[in-house]
Structure 1
Amino acid sequence: MDKKRMLIEELKLKNFRNFPNFSVNFKDGVNVIYGPNGSGKTSILEAIAYLSNPRSFRGARDFQILKIGENYFEVEGKVLSEDERHVIKITYWQDENKKEKTAYLDGFKVKRFRDIQEIFIAIPFSFRNYSMIDGSATQRRDFFDDIFSLIDLDYYETLRNYEKLLEERNENLKMDEIDKNYVLYLAKEMQPLAEKIVEKREKMVEELSQYLDPIFRIEYKSEFKGKNIADYIEEDISRGVTTLGPHTQDDYILYYKGNPAKHYASEGQKRLFYLSIVLAFKSLIEKTKHYEPVFLFDEPVNVLDAHLLERFISNLSGQVIIATLSPLLGAHNIGLTLEE
């Protein structure tokens, strides 16, 4: 089956990060956004990714993306999807009493953000993320949650619904007067979502592993599996937080030649492990979704030397957008300055 092509042709920003009003055009193939640190290279990648998954891949909340002193931002992209052109626009607005995020496709408001993902997918990878191999379980959960959300839109919605309930429950657990019945009710609402998250994580690790270099292995380890959130209500009340769930102790154990990579792999091997995950994910999404999404890479030269970067890019097809300090030969280079 032929793969569905996806491209972004133009990006427009208003009050997004440090850009009051900004536009840029892209071409098919390799695009490079280059410039000094602080010029907004990563913010442009963040905005492109926001068009397909309206949350920051840098972990920022929407109000933190908003340009200081403003009360709204807009991200608009002209995209090409299977030879059809579309305009996607996402707006965020806030005042003292309300926050609102809205998505539009070709001028019409969409009911669900996932409707946009059927038109345009941009997948961000920050090469700073390879530090997750040595980092915390939270870092690894966040990394895999982001990429699995793009493989499986049902996982994305399940995770978002779980997180909303979790946030509400934690807020209630911090109150001076706790409504025990209500926090117990929330635990029961969260339980089937939590079980589904674990089940899908296990399945997606198994699928991703089929495309991974065999010297590397990923194991998902769930401390939550087989347990019930409601059973821990007394401890939750005592500590003022939801202590059990796939958001706490569950982890992805990464192995190099059968041994934990964080202890036994060299820095170069850890970088190759991260590259192997990226390329495995690319293969998986193209195999299962039958589309070729836009790939976004933030500062690959921080991790890859020139030879490894060239090898990496040669394994990619479709539209690729890279943020880095210097232009690359043969790419469509877009220069930024600190004044942008």
Structure 2
Amino acid sequence: MSLLLLQAQQFRNFAELSLQPHPQFNLLVGENGSGKTSLLEAIYYLAHGRSFRTSRHQRLIQHDEPAFVLHAKVSSAEQVHSIGIQRERTADLQLRLNGSAQCRLADIAELLPVQLLTPDSFKLFFGGPKERRQFFDMGVFHVEQHFFAVWLQFSRVLKQRNALLKQSRQYNQQFEYWDAQFVQLAWQLQALRQHYISLLQNAFAALTDQDSLLSTVSLQLYAGWPEKLKTSAELQELLSQSFQQDLRLGFTQYGPQKADLRLRSAGHSVEEVLSRGQLKVLLFALKVAQNNLIAGSGLKQPILLIDDLASELDPGSTKKIFDFLTNINSQVFITAINADQVTPFIAADCRQVFHVEHGQITSTDR
């Protein structure tokens, strides 16, 4: 089990919250504005250090209160860990991991693999490459052990190169020095990402092999530079050749920071050939496949947060999605206005229903 206990103070409309979730499915039922999505937001904030609803942390703190506090007990690698986050109106952020303040957000995120599905998740298809990089890099972070360290090094080198573009007008020894490091780290990131996407394609295929439509979907990683480049030396040459254009743009136009995931079916982009309802089913399949891959790679049980599951789904699509969810190796939290939208698809002994109203949460039998 992943999340054993969730507690919140002065978070959104929850003055005090204490929740002991079911290890499999947790259904959060209540009217709009009752606090269902805020509960998902609290779990997401613990895992990512930010909200998926607002960039202004002050909106998360109850009126006239100085800060909000989130605390959880998490099971990972057969151990129980205590994690906590306090965010003040002044933006001061305090973290705790097993009682110690000597920790980073990445240390907490590593213990709590959390994915989110909301009506806005269609950005995975219709948004820019950043949306898709965030999707697959979350999985690479949890599956490929060395990814985060390499990514941190690359980010520092990229920042340095972009700063140089604003200071120097000539491609000189400084650029050669940083480009050599850039290329070395870029090639490492590409190898880690490509290996992960191959694993994700296999997990996706295992989940959808009985679906005549989704089984045709392929996942193709674009590295962030032309496919014709086959060696690191060719990438370094490209950086040199594109220097003048980089100067005009003010940033580095090639590299892993421009990577993308291309989702195709029968040779076309999926958004061109699938209906909105079919895209939502595909979205669920991708998230479930990623959670299964993370779970299968170690001793973590990921968490899937689903806000407003029934939105824009016909009965056939709803059944497909629950077929996927019954094969998920994750702890799942689902919001709904009515329990009857979800309970017929999940066995009673595999779920717990919680009623949310005016910032209060109670466990119910249905």
TM-score of Structure 1 vs Structure 2, range by shorter chain? 0.7 to 0.9
- Return the match for 2:130 from 112, 117, 138: 138
Alignment of 1:192 with 2:201, yes or no, is no
Q: Deviations over 1:194-221 (max 9, x none)?
A: 3322222211111111122332210112
User: Is the 8 Å Cα contact of residues 73 and 92 (structure 1) preserved in structure 2?
Assistant: yes
- Give 1:323 deviation, angstroms: 2.6
Distance in 2 between residues matched to 1:106 and 1:300, nearest whole Å? 34
Work out whether 1:35 is the aligned partner of 2:30.
yes
Matches within 5 A, 1:1-340: 5-14=1-10, 16=11, 18-19=12-13, 21-28=15-22, 29-56=24-51, 58=52, 61=55, 63=57, 67=61, 72-81=67-76, 84-92=79-87, 95=90, 101-117=93-109, 119-126=111-118, 128-163=120-155, 166=158, 178=167, 184=175, 190-212=182-204, 213=208, 214-224=215-225, 226=229, 227-228=235-236, 231=240, 232-248=242-258, 250-305=259-314, 306-327=318-339, 328-329=342-343, 330=348, 331-337=351-357
TM-score (norm 2): 0.72
Q: Is the CA contact (8 Å cut-off) linking 1:300 and 1:309 kept in structure 2?
A: no
In structure 2, relative to structure 1, the CA distance for the partners of 1:335 and 1:233 (3 Å cut) is farther
State the Cα distance separating 1:61 from its structure 2 match.
4.8
The answer as to whether partners of 1:7 and 1:81 remain within 8 angstroms in 2 is: no
> Matches of 1:39 and 1:169 in 2, distance apart?
48
Change (3 A) 1:247 1:66: farther
182 and 287 in structure 1: CA distance in 2 versus 1, 3 angstrom threshold: same
Sort the Cα spacing of 1:247 and 1:81 in 2 relative to 1 into closer, same or farther, 3 A.
Answer: closer
Unaligned runs of 5+ in 2: 209-214, 230-234, 361-366
Are the counterparts in 1 of residues 8 and 14 from structure 2 also a CA contact under 8 Å?
no
**1: CA distance, partners of 2:79 / 2:46:** 17
Do the aligned residues in 2 keep the contact of 1:188 with 1:230 (CA within 8 Å)? no
Q: Specify whether residues 302 and 64 from structure 1 end up closer, same or farther in structure 2 by C-alpha distance, changes over 3 A only.
A: farther
TM-score by length of structure 1 reads 0.77
Task: State, as a whole percentage, how many aligned pairs show the same letter.
Answer: 23
Task: Say which is worse superposed, 195-204 or 142-151, in terms of deviation.
Answer: 142-151
- Displacement of 1:283 in angstroms is 2.5
1:282 Cα offset (Å) = 2.6
- Rounded Cα–Cα distance in structure 2 between residues aligned with 1:82 and 1:299: 31
Q: Larger % of helix: which?
A: 2
Residues of 2 paired with 1:73 and 1:171: CA distance? 36
SS of residue in 2 equivalent to 1:79: strand
